[in-house]
Amino acid sequence: MPGTLNYVEGQASVGDQAVTSNSVGSVELQPGQTISTENGKAEVLLTPGVFLRLGANSSARMVSNSLSDTQVKLDKGRALVEVAELYKQNNIAIREDGATTQLEKTGLYGFDADQQQVRVLKGKAEVRAGDQHVTVKGGHKVSLLDSTLKSQKFDQRTYEDSDLYRWSSLRSSYLADANVQVAHLYVDTGWWGPGWASGWYWDPWFGGYTFLPASGIFYSPFGWNYYSPVVIYRNPGFYPAYPSYRVPPQRFPEPYVNGRVEPRMGPEYRPGVSAPRAAAPMTHSPVTPAMHAPPAMPRSGGSGGGLGGAFHGVTGGELGRR
């Protein structure tokens, strides 16, 4: 469900309730609820493949948490949105100081409510304020303080030195590690098969959700790879040299894909994407501590691609991608 808390460090809260690592996966922002950080950071899942990350001393309010209409308002501080997958039917919008930014392509987007700026590091966005609108492409920003909205270049190298960017890049690499673990798990246990769809899938060793595409390889704007189980299945060389991840099926909540909970094989498989605390005994495993993942698979630059250069998505023409 869009609005699910996937990681927190330091001081953070939803409303007046403090959230910790034990809140991961079980706290979902409802429309009107606000997540705030003090000396801390937080990661919130939007639609599958889209991550909202808040920097320190920031706050964001969930406006709409529908899969087809996902809107967040940044009230204070800074946020970075990573988009690894986007469908035509998605409407991902970030509001800030009276302006609305619609994310139109996969990429990386920065928002600063204090400086009233919108940055597109990679991708494409449409910024609207009143009766004005402007298209912003990679390497450009918009100042909401200007009387006329206009796209202008900015120094990406300087921005990439920021704490929020570096932390987001690190989080993206951890999620890529978790992706390999979970893709391997579903192939190894036989839970993957026809009808597989993109979605968030729980990794008990990682202590959070990661993104699994329906097929092929998707690329994070930071350069990390997200593998689908079909890639692992068809390419034995992609199997990492990790311990066997044969864990009882009841340890895993059912994945949330295409707007609904999708059951998987196994008579003891428990439903409840919003209740991953069923996996709590595994979250801080003495073998693999939370937030400790195996080495990432080889990195690849650029966006798009797949096996043999082909870009693969949901089969059967279920949804169209941007």
**CATH at 65:** 2.60.120.1440
d(CA 260, CA 254): 10
Q: Which structure tokens are listed for 85?
A: 């997958």
Instruction: Verify that 200 and 307 share a domain, yes or no.
Output: yes
| Residue 104 counted as domain residue | yes
Q: Is 89 helix (H, G, I), strand (E, B) or coil?
A: coil
Domain boundary residue, one of 162, 181, 208: 162
The mean per-residue pLDDT over the stretch 186-201 comes to 80
Q: What is the pLDDT, as a whole number, of residue 236?
A: 59
Instruction: Verify that 149 and 17 share a domain, yes or no.
Output: yes
Q: What is the CA radius of gyration of the chain?
A: 19
Instruction: Verify that 145 and 9 share a domain, yes or no.
Output: yes
Q: What is the pLDDT, as a whole number, of residue 259?
A: 41
Q: Whole-model pTM?
A: 0.76
| Residue 322 counted as domain residue | no
- Token pair 């340890």 is at which residue? 251
Residue 218 structural domain? 164-317
Distance of CA 18 to the CA centre of its chain: 22
The total number of structural domains in the chain stands at 2
Query: Quick one: how many helices (H) and strands (E) in the chain?
Result: 4, 21
- Token pair 């039917």 is at which residue? 89
Asked which of 53-62, 160-169, 278-287 is least confident by mean pLDDT, the reply is: 278-287
Domain boundary residue, one of 162, 185, 215: 162
pLDDT confidence bin for 12, thresholds 50/70/90: very high
| Residue 235 counted as domain residue | yes
Which amino acid appears at position 33 of this protein? Q
Instruction: Verify that 173 and 34 share a domain, yes or no.
Output: no
3-state secondary structure 168-218: HHHHHHHHHHHHHHHHHHHHHHCCCCCCCCCEEEEECCCCEEEEECCCCEE
Q: What is the pLDDT, as a whole number, of residue 173?
A: 94
Q: Is 21 helix (H, G, I), strand (E, B) or coil?
A: helix
